[in-house]
Structure 1
């Protein structure tokens, strides 16, 4: 299937954009990735312009737009959602939201060939965003639903071995149960979600007919408004 997809992400301290062009069984990905805390608004759209220019693609040639829909930084998610929705509305193209936790899992699998991954992000206020995945041949399968929990409440899915922890949530390692610590072979706390992995997931979802009207695709915070308040 021939298509051109653009993905953007601002869900963490990183800011990234990727363009995936697929044609006749071949694909090319052009991407930008920068650690830009507090500069997402300033850098995101220029990065979009950069990848489009490098690819020689006009915005009108895009078939779909995607973005990291969360969980992650509230401010960053809104920045990416606003930019992606604006592009999709203006171009009259479908929009896809991609899980940041799934993108973390796919990225670690593609780069290091890990199979069983627990992706966790520091959610602040003494909690983590977390999910568990099995990855094989570039395909991710959800084993434990995405949730926001206290590190002390984390449990590993039964019957699997060789778990690897990925993401900033693992900086809270010392607060996690002994069963979790014993069940992991290693942790990679400094890996950030990237649009380069999100655009691959977005292509999968576009092929499955999951593209939506821009107004239908909203950020996923996992935490409701009440949880914004610190517990007494």
Structure 2
């Protein structure tokens, strides 16, 4: 029996998918596809998956498992890969394999430089804002990796200090071990050339690599065959920072980041079938139990009012509304994580209200999880009030259910 594992990697600017097939005789075939375009992961990922499968004459139901680059990395990219992996896992009833993105960098370097097979890999990845993600891995006797330092966030200027300190701590490694620095964050720390290490350890600099889907797939296949996988509901990205961007004020004060050009807002247009992959990816990035692409396609076929908010060709958010004879029912509304608190949700909700009034409907109804405090605050700010409870309305972790709060707003023309 041939095992087919799909791998997704979107922790950086490159959107990558790979298909790793292992036959019963141990022969392995790898196919991959990549596209370098920051901010387009949600639109590109699923079409790339389908193209890759079609090129091998396979369908989604031929997959044995799906692996994804777990992070750390870009917040939105991690959510896209994780959300798509979860969605496919649920739909196809297959396991999900989270693979550490920094471990994938260590493996990628080891594959390219077998002459350095004994070196400890210290992966240093650019985390922006003058910081780096760092992890260290020791090769084990089975061809895998033991974790010397779990992924952490570190000021780039503190890398020499970390190297000096870690070399003074006994780790059971042979004397004069080599710390091989790899990753695109190494270039941010030119001071490492003069660092002094204890225990006779040496430092050598490797290439500025980033994780790729093929290596995530290689690690994911090994983990899958070892039973190291999870059910879709337990898959989650690995975040190691609680601040993913500078605020506008911080950017204006020179603390980094790129201020948005003034006067640029979002535009709205009707949702079409071609928007469904991007919409489903955004939904998966913000919901533990998201609508699927099939749900959105069915909604469009049923005549529901679907709208997308877009800017510079990228879809930032969406809404879908059912227009009943006596009221409008907002079924779903979501905004991409990196576009939240920028007025996208407000633009969508106001457009929903406008469309309802245009149809002579004076009430806009919706359901929301009481545990979703951010959504509750958003709807309350826009004039919605709780009018009831739907018992056990939403699925919740470990097979439980969560109530849904019914909220309603009476619309007034011109409001």
Q: CA deviation at 1:55?
A: 1.7
CA distance in 2, matches of 1:208, 1:228: 37
Provide the C-alpha distance between the structure 2 equivalents of 1:217 and 1:109, rounded to a whole number of angstroms. 27
Call closer, same or farther: CA 1:134–1:160 in 2, change over 3 Å.
Answer: farther
Q: Deviations over 1:93-121 (max 9, x none)?
A: 11111100000010111112233221111
Q: Find the counterpart in structure 2 of residue 196 from structure 1.
A: 214
Corresponding residue for residue 125 of structure 2 = 121
Structure 1 CA distance for aligned equivalents of residues 31 and 143 of structure 2: 19
The answer to whether the 8 Å contact 1:109/1:135 transfers is no
Q: How many residues align?
A: 230
Mapping for residues 58-137 of structure 1, pairs under 5 Å:
58-113=59-114, 114-115=116-117, 116=119, 117-135=121-139
The answer to whether the 8 A contact 1:153-1:177 is kept is no
1:152 aligns with 2:157: yes
2:298 alignment partner in structure 1: none
CA contact (8 A) 1:118 1:166 kept: yes
Distance 2:41 2:145 in 1: 28
Where do residues 34-53 of structure 1 align in structure 2 (5 Å cutoff)? 34-53=35-54
Question: Computing the radius of gyration over CA atoms, which structure comes out larger, 1 or 2?
Answer: 2
Q: Give the superposition deviation at 1:183.
A: 4.1
TM, length-normalised to structure 1: 0.88
Check conservation: 2:125, 2:210, Cα contact below 8 A.
Answer: no
1:104-145 Cα distance to aligned partner (Å, 9 max, x none): 010111112233221111112322111112337852232222
Bigger shift: residues 158-167 or 141-150: 158-167
User: In 1, are the aligned partners of 2:67 and 2:220 still within 8 Å (CA)?
Assistant: yes
Q: Give me the whole-angstrom Cα distance separating, in 1, the residues matched to 2:143 and 2:15.
A: 23
CA RMSD of aligned residues (A): 2.5
Match of residue 168 from structure 1: 184
d(CA) in 1 for partners of 2:63, 2:176? 40
SS in 2 for 1:124: coil
| 1:177 to 1:216, Cα distance in 2 relative to 1, 3 A | farther
C-alpha distance in structure 1 between counterparts of 2:51 and 2:192, whole Å: 42
Query: Which residue number in structure 2 is paired with residue 222 of structure 1?
Result: 240
Q: Which moved more, 1:209-218 or 1:63-72?
A: 209-218
Instruction: Answer 1 or 2: higher relative contact order, Cα 8 Å, separation at least 6.
Output: 1
Structure 1: which 5+ residue stretches go unaligned? none
Which runs of no fewer than 5 residues in structure 2 stay unpaired?
A: 168-174, 256-415
In structure 2, C-alpha distance between the alignment counterparts of 1:174 and 1:88, rounded to whole Å = 43
Q: Which residue of 1 aligns with 2:21?
A: 21
Picking from 141, 145, 148, the partner of 2:146 is 141
Stretch of structure 1 that moved more, 211-220 or 115-124: 115-124
Q: What's the offset of the Cα at 1:177?
A: 8.1
- Are the structure 2 counterparts of residues 163 and 34 from structure 1 closer, same or farther at C-alpha, using a change threshold of 3 Å? farther
